[in-house]
Structure 1
């Protein structure tokens, strides 16, 4: 397994992971009509734009067969005005690769990049019904609050977690 910086050429493969993982991870959490409307083409365009933004740290997990099976995104969101803090904005894997240590490798890579950039605190938002919140908690993320967001006008609870010490996370990884 190789964890590397994503390139513009990875946009379509990242889009496939993004769409497919949303459809499996959020089935029964987000309304099916929203998931059915997800498009590889639209997500490819989104990722072409994302990958040209130097403020985003995007890494992919690639198998020995050169298949991209997951990705992670770290970036300081506009809404995060806290000094020394940044955000883990996405980490997704194909369903068949979940629970095999790939997420841990991606988390380690993005946390290392945050440390190198001088951050010491990292926030992550996760849908309250998403079992991946246990992954974050296992690596030391602490619950902050629950907020309500909307998908196609339907309210869904989202939990905010924080890692207060990147070094402590890296030690556990």
Structure 2
């Protein structure tokens, strides 16, 4: 690593590199087959939609404008208890740039947006085995699995389809 990455708002032309980093993250988390998104999906959903489905900050390697080394992808959400929230979907830094403060810079931009937009909280999930739990704890985040006994539940596409079919809603 020769120079400090530039952190900025993502642009449509970053989608190929963002997709590469999503795969890098999935490989790191031992879910290499999990990402189903294509570059075109990211372009459409984040940059071509009248209401973008996500926002993203990226870390770009100086003098190599096509190469990204980190990203933070997030979207607005809403809580019936506290109002506006931000859902941080992914924050990832390539291994050779970890420990440089880059993750904190990316996370700080998301929290700055939450602060300026008067959001009530930033929510995200982290695998229990991931060393990032220490990083987030150090920054003041609270593991609600421990403090509130809340667990993340998901209904995936196959379950959605089955429920709609079983309920005769199609």
Deviation at 1:5, TM superposition (A): 0.8
Name the structure where strand makes up a greater proportion of residues. Answer: 1
Secondary structure, counterpart of 1:69 in structure 2: strand
Cα distance in 2 for residues equivalent to 1:98 and 1:14: 17
| Residue ranges of structure 2 left out of the alignment (5+ in a row) | 157-170
Secondary structure, counterpart of 1:125 in structure 2: coil
Secondary structure, counterpart of 2:112 in structure 1: helix
Counterparts of 1:80-91 in structure 2, within 5 Å, are 80-81=79-80, 82-91=82-91
Q: Any conservation in 1 of the 2:26–2:34 contact (CA below 8 Å)?
A: no
TM-score normalized by the length of structure 1? 0.70
Find the partner of 1:20 among 19, 24, 27: 24
Pair 1:5-2:9 in alignment:
yes
| Residue ranges of structure 1 left out of the alignment (5+ in a row) | 153-173
Seen in structure 2, the aligned counterparts of structure 1 residues 43 and 149 have a Cα distance that, compared at 3 Å, is farther
Match of 1:118 in 2: 118
TM-score normalized by the length of structure 2? 0.71
Report the RMSD for the aligned CA atoms in angstroms. Answer: 2.5
Greater relative contact order (Cα < 8 A, sep 6+)? 1
After the TM superposition, which of the residue ranges 10-19 and 141-150 deviates more from structure 2? 141-150
Cα distance in 2 for residues equivalent to 1:123 and 1:38: 21
Cα distance in 1 for residues equivalent to 2:99 and 2:151: 27
Counterparts of 1:71-150 in structure 2, within 5 Å, are 71-77=71-77, 80-81=79-80, 82-145=82-145, 146-147=150-151
The list of structure 1 runs, each at least 4 consecutive aligned residues, that deviate by more than 3 angstroms after superposition, is 36-39
Match of 1:51 in 2: 46
Cα distance in 2 for residues equivalent to 1:51 and 1:19: 18
Cα distance in 1 for residues equivalent to 2:117 and 2:152: 31
Cα distance in 2 for residues equivalent to 1:6 and 1:60: 6
Q: Any conservation in 1 of the 2:46–2:53 contact (CA below 8 Å)?
A: no
Cα distance in 2 for residues equivalent to 1:93 and 1:15: 13
Q: How many residues align?
A: 142
